[in-house]
Amino acid sequence: RPCTAIILRHGGRGGLYGYYATQMPDPLKIVGVAEPLEYRRTACVNNHKIEAANTFTTWEHVFDRPKFADAVIVTTQDRMHYEPTMRALEMGYDVLLEKPIAPSWKECNDILKLAQAKGRIVGVCHVLRYSPFNVQIKAVIESGMIGDVVSVQHIEPIWHLHFSHSYVRGPWRREDLATPSLLAKSCHDLDLINWWMDEPVKAVSSFGGLRTFHKRNAPAGAPRFCMDGCPHRESCIYHAEDVYVNKKRWGTHHIETPDRSEESIRSKLRRGQYGQCVYQADNTVNDHQVVNMLYRSGATAAFSMEAMTSYGGRRTRIMGTKGDIVGDERYLDVATFNDEKRIRWDVEATGQDLSGHGGGDQRMTA
């Protein structure tokens, strides 16, 4: 029979995992939901034909009931991961937990210890481990083709518009409301590097800051909200009405309104967080950060998280004693020193579904 699960918060990630359940009903069936927004809760109920008794407004109400599923999918905001995960484990549920695990080491350790004590599974949604491209990198390293890894260079170019939406205007804009941007966005990458390396880290150094999306860079005369007659509208690429409505440069899923019409979105932009000038918002998280790691073997890794790029898509270079790897999430180039052989692998030529983190979302859910 399929694994039965309850979704705690039917937002972007919870909705996506629910969607995969409708596409793959044999391994996964959604039987409950907790969602405070009525229109999202109703959508989940309709999508999965959830009984009224298994439909809740907040996650706390789920645990007022005796255990009625195999697992709980925790897709609440970052700072709301810990409590529902602990409650689920206490009641004997397995947990699929959206990354990052929790904001503090203590909370992460508490979850680990309780899962071990209860004999339950906590699967963390480090979905990039499941994408065909990254799986292939792991396979090349393990094959010995490039020898022992000497060093890794890895960059996540977030794309400036993506960053302005999620980390300047959006839910992950402030550390006190969510987590640092390195944890919220790039724990994927730090996890990947350590998965590829497969050995303990001996030392870490890190530097970063908030350079671009800051009040000191606000154009003269710009109002706090874009739609209050900003004199720089024609020249500003971040004007909210253009980004979300007129030019549709970014999606509106995070803008909470049951009416998805353009006028309703505009109304939310007039005084809502997504309508703020990107240089005058209350964001605090870094828009650039570097992390350097020294491993037990003496190998090193250098990671860079960058908001201010014109493109997205991770870039990776791995240097070994017998060859090297260069990758950009589509092409994987492997070169070996002794025979000067070069191999190019194109993940798109495999014909696989690469949507959702390069195909990682669907494969992890399955």
- 340 vs 146, 227, 322, CA distance in Å? 12, 59, 10
Q: Coil, strand, or helix at residue 157? A: strand
Q: Are residue 81 and residue 160 in the same domain, yes or no?
A: no
**Strand extents, DSSP E, 244-314:** 288-295, 300-306
Domain with 248 in it:
215-275
3-state secondary structure (DSSP) of residue 134? helix
Q: How far apart are CA 50 and CA 23, in angstroms?
A: 16
pTM: 0.92
**Contacts with 12 (C-beta within 8 Å, 6 or more apart), sequence order:** 253, 254
Residue 149: beta bridge partners?
320
Q: State the CATH number of the domain containing residue 8.
A: 3.40.50.720
The residue with tokens 């409950």 is: 32
Dig out the tokens for 340 from the structure. 């000067």
160 close to 222: Cβ distance less than 8 angstroms: no
Calpha distance 133→299 (Å, rounded): 23
Are 242 and 165 in the same domain?
no
* Domain shared by 141 and 82, yes or no: no
Q: Are residues 297 and 166 in the same domain?
A: yes
How many angstroms separate the CA atoms of 245 and 264, rounded?
A: 10
- Paired tokens of 83: 């409590």
Tokens of 301: 């890794």
**Contacts of residue 225, Cβ cutoff 8 Å, sequence gap at least 6:** 240, 269, 270, 271, 275, 276, 277
16 with 93, same domain: the answer is yes
Q: Are residues 116 and 13 in the same domain?
A: yes
> What is the total residue count of the chain?
366
| 203-208-211 Cα angle (round to 5) | 175
pLDDT recorded at residue 26: 87
Of 231, 251, 275, the last residue of a domain is 275
**Dihedral sign for Cα atoms in the order 309, 311, 313, 316:** negative
Residue 34 backbone dihedrals phi, psi, to 5 degrees: -125, 120
**pLDDT tens for the 366 residues of the chain, in order:** 899 999 999 999 999 999 999 998 889 999 999 999 999 999 999 999 999 999 999 999 999 999 999 999 999 999 999 999 999 999 999 999 999 999 999 999 999 999 999 999 999 999 999 999 999 999 999 999 999 999 999 999 999 999 999 999 999 999 999 999 999 999 999 999 999 999 999 999 999 999 999 999 999 999 999 999 999 999 999 999 999 999 999 999 999 998 899 999 999 999 999 999 999 999 999 999 999 999 999 999 999 999 999 999 999 999 999 999 999 999 999 999 999 999 999 999 988 888 889 999 988 888
Domain boundary among 106, 125, 144: 125
Q: Among 220, 231, 238, 245, which Cα is nearest to 281's?
A: 238
Spacing of C-alpha 195 from chain mean position: 17
Tokens linked to 263 = 């006028």
Q: Which of 93, 125, 157 is the last residue of a domain?
A: 125
**25: amino acid identity, one letter:** P
Q: Give yes or no: residues 21 and 96 share one domain.
A: yes
Domain count, the chain: 3
Indicate if 52 and 144 belong to the same structural domain: no
What is the four-CA torsion angle of 97, 98, 100, 105, rounded to 10 degrees? -20
What local confidence, expressed as pLDDT, does residue 21 receive? 93
Whether residues 59 and 96 fall in one domain? yes
Does residue 200 sit in the same domain as residue 338?
Answer: yes
Give CA 173 to chain center in angstroms: 14
Provide the strand spans (E) within 281-346: 288-295, 300-306, 315-320, 323-327, 331-336, 341-346
At residue 207, what are phi and psi to the nearest 5 degrees?
-140, 150
